[in-house]
Chains A and B, each alone.
Chain A
């Protein structure tokens, strides 16, 4: 930069250190962040699984209470988000296992793998919920 100044060239403003907000959001970066966020969400989501299992093991009234919550609008949104996070994190995990073998690091494959993760997770989640509504009659 000093050299450019000395030559009288127009000075280009460049970031001095990398900060998240100056990066264009690339798909692999977004998928990396979403992988961690879904992992964190699943971590606390296990409380719901534990609650439901304990309710089922305690008796019909307790299971009915848990099922009432999961059947409510809020419960359904939470469950939908949980299944998407689960499937997304699982597909992201497959992507990471592929990368662990030191394959798929050329930019085209990286993009394909990352787009497959998000498209695959949304598709599978919608299919699963279509199955749930079909089998469970909306419960």
Chain B
């Protein structure tokens, strides 16, 4: 017979109240990135040294655009989790740690949104 109450079970998330959330998201994004990486390398090979029109037409292709946005989104989520661990491992001053963790999120958000904005602009049309 289980000695835990149902409430105890649902609350079983550890002291940070996040359970295995960080670990799981890191793995989930890593698998997604591994699936997307071959496509990204293929796209890079397709446009390397190409004319501007070819670059814009290739990146503006709906399938390529969607794959690029997925790659960027998954990438910044993954790298934010990774950098969070690095900061928590090496920065022990509370103030500096909190500041860097905030900067980490800002950096990932800005880089991610700027890149996605660029891809969508290419996809929705840019004056050639």
Contacts and interface: CB of A to CB of B under 8 A. Distances in A.
On whether the two chains bind one another, the answer is yes
A38 to B, nearest CB: 10
A131 interface: yes
Contacts of B122: 53, 56-57
Nearest to A61: B52
Contacts, number: 82
Interface string B93-128: 000000000000001000100110111011000111
B111 A40 contact: no
A59 B53 CA distance: 10
Interface in A72-88: 86
Contacts of B118: 50, 53-54, 56-57
Contact of A50 (B34, B45, B56, B114): B114
A36 B89 CA distance: 12
Interface in A55-74: 56-57, 59-60, 63-64
Nearest to A45: B79
A46 B55 contact: no
A96 B27 CA distance: 9
Interface residues of B, number: 35
Contacts of B34: 90, 93-94
A23 interface: no
Nearest to A91: B34
A138 B49 CA distance: 8
Given A50-B115, A50-B118, A97-B30, A43 B82 contact: yes
B59 A56 contact: yes
A39 interface: yes
Given A39-B79, A46-B76, A128-B41, A54 B48 contact: no
Contacts of A128: 41, 45
A30 interface: no
B33 A90 contact: yes
B86 interface: yes
B37 interface: yes
B83 interface: yes
Interface of B: 27, 30-31, 33-34, 37, 41, 44-45, 48-50, 52, 55-56, 59, 72, 75-76, 79, 82-83, 86, 107, 111, 114-115, 117-119, 121-122, 126-128
